[in-house]
């Protein structure tokens, strides 16, 4: 079947044709952009955490009185927490996985020109690996005498050793072994020797934007000072014991007067907070997009069934003159596909134009041609599907019924 009769028929219904083309084009642009922003939002979403978060409790208390004895408070806290039934091991920490907010620049050379690597740097004690429940990939863990416990001051001796996550080690040293290499946690400050490389753990959202969720380092230190948040605690519990332990942890930390508990939760919750915001936002966008596609599809179906009714007579005559059912079906599908394809091409241009004009609309650098193509194919399929039923009805028109 040639294009000519199709085009002639479309000429009769110019306005319809134009509307359908426009609608397909705008639907493509709108859906593509919500898909773009969804992919930006869901970058590194729900990546495996590498942690047994159900059995980890994160708790922290902050002194509000002047000049408390922080050192003995930390010793007491560790003792009290370890002695709770259901607790397996405890470490102090400066921040927690899933909510590691502080992104540090770390270096493998000194000097101002040294290349920066971004990582979350944790400060824990020698129980770090036990608490996190992760294995070493190479090297060894911290010995207790390597842990620096001190009030932060200008003369603080920083720890001589450090452990890196597999991802950070690979980022910094590639295929070479990181063990024994020197590592600067802070530019030009006291460096440390890398003694171990551990399995990746999810650090938090802050690194996600640059796709480095697994880059972390652990330094063996417990520091305190009046100008710093007091160290918090990461507690490994026996399997399933964590929720019931929260109340005990709270009482244990409140035995020390003059401070308040600012966090006390199972890490599952921290993780949920990290992922669910983006997850639900994306779901909203995708749901609205689906509704939009549905509306476009239904509109198309309604329109074609109207066209079929309008052309009942012509169809009957064509059938009487020897056109097969398949011919009629093909005619409607071809007519619709022609309009859809023109609409899709227009839509692709609109999408690209918008993405270039307003880069902020769906996130920088989010223009993805493969995604536009996928949305376009999806829209085309939906349209074919929407047209199929009314077109089949057209094919079933009995010639005798219209030629009276």
- Binding positions for other proteins, rule: CB under 8 A: 15-16, 19-20, 22-23, 26-27, 29-30, 33-34, 37, 64-66, 226-228, 254, 260-262, 269, 272-273, 276-277, 279-281, 283-285, 288, 291-292, 295-296, 298-299, 302-303, 306-307, 309-310, 358, 360-362
69 vs 276 by CB, closer to other proteins: 276
For 37, counting Cβ atoms within 10 Å of its Cβ (0-12 exposed, 13-18 middle, 19+ buried), the class is middle
Could you tell me the smallest distance in angstroms from the CB atom of residue 1 to other proteins? 25
Could you tell me the smallest distance in angstroms from the CB atom of residue 377 to other proteins? 19
246-270 exposure pattern, b = at least 16 Cβ within 10 A, e = fewer: bebbeebbeebeebeeeebbbbbeb
Could you tell me the smallest distance in angstroms from the CB atom of residue 324 to other proteins? 26
Residue 190: half-sphere exposure toward Cβ, Cα within 13 Å: 10
Could you tell me the smallest distance in angstroms from the CB atom of residue 78 to other proteins? 21
For 197, counting Cβ atoms within 10 Å of its Cβ (0-12 exposed, 13-18 middle, 19+ buried), the class is buried
**Would you give the distance in Å from CA 386 to the centre of its chain?**
33
92 vs 351 by CB, closer to other proteins: 351
Could you tell me the smallest distance in angstroms from the CB atom of residue 220 to other proteins? 23
Cβ count within 10 A of residue 83: 10
Q: What is the DSSP string of 195-218?
A: EEEE-----BGGGGGGT-TT-EEE
Could you tell me the smallest distance in angstroms from the CB atom of residue 304 to other proteins? 9
Best CA proximity match to 178, nearest among 154, 162, 189, 190: 162
310-339 exposure pattern, b = at least 16 Cβ within 10 A, e = fewer: ebeeebbebbeeebeeeebbebbbebbbbb
Could you tell me the smallest distance in angstroms from the CB atom of residue 65 to other proteins? 6
Quick one: angle between helices 325-357 and 14-41, nearest 10? 50
Could you tell me the smallest distance in angstroms from the CB atom of residue 214 to other proteins? 23
37 vs 105 by CB, closer to other proteins: 37
Beta bridge partners of 165: 198
Beta bridge partners of 103: 120
**Would you give the distance in Å from CA 257 to the centre of its chain?**
41
Report helix, strand or coil for 221.
strand
């Amino acid at each position: 079947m040639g294009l000519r009769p199709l085009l002639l028929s479309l000429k009769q219904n110019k306005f319809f044709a134009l509307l359908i083309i426009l609608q397909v084009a705008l639907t493509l642009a709108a859906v593509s952009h919500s898909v773009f922003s969804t992919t930006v939002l869901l970058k590194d979403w729900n990546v495996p955490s590498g942690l047994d978060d159900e059995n980890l409790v994160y708790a922290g208390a902050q002194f509000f009185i002047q000049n408390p004895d922080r050192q003995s408070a930390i010793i007491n806290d560790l003792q009290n927490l370890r002695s709770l039934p259901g607790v397996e091991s405890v470490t102090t920490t400066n921040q927690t996985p899933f909510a590691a907010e502080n992104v540090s620049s770390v270096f493998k050379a000194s000097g101002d020109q040294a290349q920066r690597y971004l990582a979350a740097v944790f400060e824990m004690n020698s129980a770090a690996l036990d608490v996190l429940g992760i294995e070493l990939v190479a090297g060894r863990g911290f010995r207790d005498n390597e842990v620096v416990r001190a009030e932060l001051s200008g003369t603080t001796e920083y720890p001589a050793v450090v452990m890196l996550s597999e991802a950070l080690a690979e980022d910094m040293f590639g295929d070479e072994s990181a063990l024994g290499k020197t590592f600067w946690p802070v530019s030009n400050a006291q460096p440390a020797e890398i003694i171990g490389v551990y399995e990746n753990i999810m650090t938090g959202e802050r690194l996600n934007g640059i796709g480095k969720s697994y880059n972390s380092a652990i330094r063996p230190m417990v520091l305190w000072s009046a100008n710093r948040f007091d160290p918090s605690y990461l507690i490994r519990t026996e399997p399933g014991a964590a929720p019931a332990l929260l109340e005990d942890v709270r009482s244990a930390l409140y035995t020390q007067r003059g401070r308040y508990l600012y966090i006390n939760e199972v890490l599952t919750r921290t993780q949920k907070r990290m992922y669910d915001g983006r997850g639900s936002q994306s779901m909203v966008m995708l749901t609205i997009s689906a509704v939009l596609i549905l509306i476009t599809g239904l509109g198309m179906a309604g329109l074609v069934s109207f066209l079929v009714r309008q052309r009942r007579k012509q169809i009957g005559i064509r059938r009487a003159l020897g056109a097969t059912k398949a011919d009629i079906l093909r005619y409607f599908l071809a007519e619709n596909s022609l309009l859809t394809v023109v609409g899709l091409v227009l839509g692709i241009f609109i999408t690209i134009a918008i993405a270039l004009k307003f880069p902020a609309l769906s996130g920088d650098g989010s223009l993805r041609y493969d995604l536009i193509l996928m949305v376009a194919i999806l829209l085309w399929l939906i349209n074919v599907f929407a047209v199929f039923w009314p077109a089949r009805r057209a094919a079933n028109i009995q010639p005798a019924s219209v030629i009276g």
